[in-house]
Amino acid sequence: MVQIPVLIARAIPLLHQAAADKPGLVRVSVPCSLRDGALLLDWLAAQPLYPQFYWRQRDGSEEAAVCGSVRTFRDSRQARDFIREHNEPELRIWGLNAFDQMTLEAFGTLDSLLFVPRIALIRHAGNAELVVYLCSDTSLRDDLPLALAALESLCAAQPLPVLRANVTDVHHQPEKEAWCDLLRQALDAIARKAFEKVVLARRTTLTLDAPLNAAQFLAASRQVNHRCYHFMLALAPEQAFLGSSPERLYRRHHLTLETEALAGTVGSGENDAQAQENARWLMNDGKNQHENLLVVDDICQRLQGGAETLDVMPAEIVRLRKVQHLRRPIHATLLQEDDADCLLRLQPTAAVAGLPREPARRFIRDEEPFERGWYAGTAGYLSLHRAEFCVALRSALIQERQIHLYAGAGIVAGSDPQEEWLEIESKAAGLRTLLDNDAG
């Protein structure tokens, strides 16, 4: 990676040149080179600026590490309007959208925590750049000292230590007996036709013998959980929400949108032969196929009125470290470039909430013994012509010596509570097994 002092020296004159005595937003970009294997997460973890956001596309083609904030938005409509107002094609606003409205002490009640970063290091299609933003409602010149101070605070990347953590206590919400009771309630509601499907989740709280560094935990996950999006929103080194999710909510390029139905699960198996046998079973299992097609139908219905064409691709198997999923890609041509509208239509999908969406969400709010917060929301970015969000699954909330792990299962007629418990155990294991000396 190019030395940080060199990048700072290149950026400073560009910032001075851009700092006119007028309001607005300016994006200053300095191309840089990243050697093979250079890790943006290591760089981000060394920086003193917060909030921090890390995002890596699941095929590895795009990666971003951003820090500091010049504008923060509490919902996607505010972010969309800001993008349209400034009409900067390369401006990207990063962050999370919650499953339901939530409250954060530093930000109040919000639907999203999206922000224009002060500084971003971005890698895309073999190219890399350091980006610095100037932004002011009165004078860009007034914002210049803050931008220069942020640049001067940048540090060189430091290799993240190997993750070491001892679990001293494990607590599930709900525990197994209560989980089975909850699922029987859901199955009764399905039998009464209150809804066709509901996705119920469990939160597992692990207490550790020492505070956990969020970036270390995500680095350990990224090393073993392949074919996943990796994301992290950190407000402090030991206060963050992060995850390694296999599911795309959507990717948009101008009016072209790609989304998917990811629903239906089986274990990966202990070897390739067992994995192939499990995959064949999943592809032919009526219950899992029905669950997946419910999600397909819901996505297609929600895009009606916002898209002029819709194409559903054949089903395929996605093999992960602990589980395999049934996935059907869906392609659409939108009527307008509007990410707030896309998020409103698609989040949450039937794969994380249920169907019909609103009765399923009411059941979740009333019956789940915890608030989901960021879990089952979305993580990613929006911009004028491009956007991409993943669903915030296989995720964790880190609060110093506690880590909350989340996993869910889709419940339809015929679901078995014992089997669904084993499914969420497998899903949670993708992150839980990263910790040594597990007490549970």
Residue 308 lies in a domain: yes
Helices (H), 106-175: 140-152
- Are 19 and 128 contained in the same domain? yes
Provide the token pair at 393: 């699954």
- Are 319 and 247 contained in the same domain? yes
Annotated binding site: 291, 423
- Are 263 and 178 contained in the same domain? yes
- Are 146 and 219 contained in the same domain? no
The 3 state secondary structure assigned to 368-394 is: CCCCCCCCCCEEEEECCCEEEEEECCC
At 8, is the secondary structure helix, strand, or coil?
A: helix
- Are 270 and 204 contained in the same domain? yes
Candidate list 196, 247, 337, 420, residue with the active-site label: 247
Residue 90 lies in a domain: no
Annotated binding site for Mg(2+): 291, 423
- Are 398 and 271 contained in the same domain? yes
Residue 437 lies in a domain: no
User: For residue 23, what are the domain limits?
Assistant: 4-70+117-152
- How many residues are given for the chain? 440
Residue 284 lies in a domain: yes
The 10 Å Cβ neighbour count of residue 386 is: 16
- Are 390 and 249 contained in the same domain? yes
**Looking at residue 321, what is its pLDDT?**
87
Domain count across the chain: 2
**Looking at residue 437, what is its pLDDT?**
46
The secondary structure of 18-56 as a DSSP string is: H--SS-EEEEEEEEE---TT--HHHHHHT---SSEEEEE
Residue 158 lies in a domain: no
Candidate list 196, 197, 368, 427, residue with the active-site label: 197
**Looking at residue 222, what is its pLDDT?**
93
At 414, is the secondary structure helix, strand, or coil?
A: coil
Q: Is 322 a catalytic site residue?
A: no
pLDDT tens across the length of the chain (440 residues): 557 889 999 999 999 999 999 999 999 999 988 764 558 999 999 999 999 999 999 999 999 999 999 999 999 999 999 999 999 999 999 999 999 999 998 889 999 999 999 999 999 877 899 999 999 999 999 999 999 999 999 998 889 988 888 999 999 999 999 999 999 999 999 999 999 999 999 999 999 999 999 999 999 999 999 999 999 999 998 899 999 999 999 999 999 999 999 999 999 988 999 999 999 999 999 989 988 998 999 999 999 999 999 999 999 999 998 899 999 999 999 999 999 999 999 999 888 999 999 999 999 999 999 999 999 999 999 999 999 999 999 999 999 999 999 999 999 999 999 999 999 998 888 888 898 644 33
Q: Is the bond preceding residue 246 a cis peptide, omega within 30 degrees?
A: no
Residue 77 lies in a domain: no
- Are 392 and 249 contained in the same domain? yes
Q: Could you give the angle at which helices 357-367 and 176-191 cross, rounded to 10 degrees?
A: 150
- Are 214 and 279 contained in the same domain? yes
- Are 415 and 323 contained in the same domain? yes
- Are 254 and 277 contained in the same domain? yes
Q: Is 287 a catalytic site residue?
A: no
- Are 310 and 415 contained in the same domain? yes
How many alpha carbons lie under 13 Å from residue 133 in its C-beta half-sphere? 24
CATH of residue 207's domain is 3.60.120.10
Residue 80 lies in a domain: no
Of 100, 126, 152, which marks where a domain is finished? 152
400 φ/ψ sector (left φ>0, alpha ψ -120 to 50, else beta): left
Residue 439 lies in a domain: no
